[in-house]
Structure 1
Amino acid sequence: MLSRRLLRVKVMQTVYGHFRGGDSTLREAENELFHSISKSHELYHLLLLLILDVRDLAEKRIEIGLNKKRPSYEDLNPNRKFVNNKVIQQLHENRQLLKYIDATGVSWKNNEKFVRDVFKCIRESELYQQYMESEDNSYDADRKFIAKLYEKVIGQYLPLYALCEEESIFWNDEAEFVVSIVVKTIKDFEEEKGEEQSLQKEFKDEQDRDFVKTLFRKTILNHSDYKALIKKFSRNWDLDRVANLDIVLMEIAITEFLEFPEIPVKVTLNEYIEIAKHYSTPKSGTFINGILDKIINYLKKENQLEKLTSED
């Protein structure tokens, strides 16, 4: 389910926590890693459920208007474009989503005020107003609107991120990633698939699960050797003053260089530079790039870096 980048972030967080805490076994830390990934999958489903709850609020609002003692013309002739959105209806009937809800019981019941606030934010958005005024009632138009709604409105709604931090320590700093996965999910919807439309799995396949397990375990087990290698090429730096997170990121990157010959060096390098920019200090990306570049050259000279395809 999660993108490889977010899986790398999960490994980074768990490795960092393992060395900072110091009292968890390798197996305990690994269990926490996979639990963290499972929680991200839960957040993914909660975000999909959010639009269903918002749609239900819109439906109730219409019913309230129709039942007024003195309803206005707008009350009697409501615009049902949003509540009749074909993609929302398809999601409402989705077998995979219904199965997950039945198995886990996830819902927004404890955060009904938040759902109301999101609904208000959506109704006030220019995107929503343009959609409601549009005469295009096609499935394609409905799909594009829901995808943009997650990307431009829900994804930009700051209280969402505050709520995620309050609800779970495993959702800190990752809601933005999960929103992007929801957007991709909606963009992949096809009308003819109906209730059988596939959603993202926790892992795309066993290869992704093995990627996480190997990346985590090998980083922990080779911690001393990799830290020594980093120190060797950081002679102009006081390693004790370098951000601990930068060292962890470089150790994980070295693991990926050595353990996954199918992943190009440039892909790995770029991934950890970008993660550093987001999670560490402003100068971390440049620092990590410089040190890892030296380590890559060293590993090549020592014939330790075996890749399936040449990048030169």
Structure 2
Amino acid sequence: TLMVELTDTQAARVEAARMKFLATPEEKNPNMRFVNNRFIEQLRNCDDYKDYHEKKPVTWTNEPEFLRDFSERIVKSELYKEYMDSSDDSYENDCEFWKKALRALICTDEELTELLEQKSLYWNDDLEIITTFVLKTIKQFSEENGGPQSLLPMFKDDDDAEFAKELFRNTLIHGGEYRNYIENFIKNWEIERVAFMDIVIMMVALSEFHRFPSIPTRVTLNEYIELAKAYSTSKSGQFVNGVLNAIADNLKKEGVLTKE
């Protein structure tokens, strides 16, 4: 959505310059490559994109000043200059510009990050993941398909979606039980002193231990240790590793955990 609205903002700026009483020759006959970017036009007319807007009306129209400033930063960038001056006037180059812009200009823009964090504190963690989703979406667009393109789905397939729902549901239902179990294995610590995110991560890991026999124990341990490193404190990986390993060993002794 931001890419489309940045394009529209620049289109309005170009048109305003063209209509000036004392417009320069360059303003009267501007380079329209950015405004007429083929990928953006496909995205704008994509049925998945339109459906998403009907269900979740996300818009940047309430941030006109930000759009103007951000558009100007893009126009002043070396990336923009190279794109506009390139002899390669192709659909592939149009896509390549936005892939590079996402990496170099959009996901690194401090004002965008601040604005997103005002809307939700979780954007600080999500922006990198979502940028990856958008990049993959651009890569799977093709000129031959015309309008019927697909946005990258949140889940790879129905099995992945069902896994996420079941994991979340089971963690909520048995949350008290898992929390008590964790508390028994935190030596010399009061559970209130442990980072809340560490507790949540370990609760979900215990849910995966119990409810998903096809997932090896070691895989679960490695995944949730990495989650702790990414989403909690600098020492959380080591802490979660120690607690989960102790719990896994005990569950195996009790015969509750029978998978490898």
TM-score by length of 2: 0.86
Instruction: Confirm or deny that 1:59 pairs with 2:11.
Output: yes
How many Å apart are 1:169 and its aligned residue?
Answer: 6.5
Q: Which residue of 2 aligns with 1:115?
A: 67
Q: Which residue of 2 aligns with 1:42?
A: none
Q: Which residue of 2 aligns with 1:30?
A: none
Equivalent positions of 1:44-55 (< 5 A) are 49-55=1-7
TM-aligned CA distance change 1:51 to 1:216, over 3 Å: same
Give the gaps of 5 or more residues in structure 2.
Answer: none
Comparing 127-136 with 161-170, which one deviates more in the overlay? 161-170
SS in 2 for 1:135: coil
Distance 2:214 2:91 in 1: 39
Q: Which residue of 2 aligns with 1:226?
A: 178
SS in 2 for 1:250: helix
Contact kept in structure 2, 1:258 and 1:306, CA below 8 Å: no
Greater Rg over alpha carbons, structure: 2
Instruction: Confirm or deny that 1:188 pairs with 2:176.
Output: no
Q: Which residue of 2 aligns with 1:140?
A: 92
TM-aligned CA distance change 1:256 to 1:52, over 3 Å: same
1:99-128 Cα offsets, whole Å, 9 max, x none, are 332444432221222211221221222222
Q: Which residue of 2 aligns with 1:18?
A: none
- Seq. identity, %: 44
Contact kept in structure 2, 1:94 and 1:196, CA below 8 Å: yes
Q: Which residue of 1 aligns with 2:152?
A: 200
Give the gaps of 5 or more residues in structure 1.
Answer: 1-48
Equivalent positions of 1:1-312 (< 5 A) are 49-168=1-120, 173-305=125-257
Distance 1:130 1:264 in 2: 49
How many Å apart are 1:197 and its aligned residue?
Answer: 0.8
Distance 2:83 2:218 in 1: 42
1:159-183 Cα offsets, whole Å, 9 max, x none, are 2232223335675743343233222
Q: Which residue of 2 aligns with 1:36?
A: none
Q: Which residue of 2 aligns with 1:25?
A: none
Distance 1:274 1:123 in 2: 39
Distance 1:306 1:129 in 2: 61
Comparing 134-143 with 88-97, which one deviates more in the overlay? 134-143
Contact kept in structure 2, 1:148 and 1:183, CA below 8 Å: no
SS in 2 for 1:136: coil
1:175-232 Cα offsets, whole Å, 9 max, x none, are 3432332222112222222211111345544433322332222222323332333234
SS in 1 for 2:62: helix
Count of equivalent residues:
260
- Structure scoring higher RCO (CA < 8 A, sep ≥ 6) equals 1
TM-score by length of 1: 0.73
TM-aligned CA distance change 1:170 to 1:246, over 3 Å: closer
RMSD of aligned Cα (Å): 2.6
How many Å apart are 1:236 and its aligned residue?
Answer: 4.6
Indicate the structure with greater helix content: 1
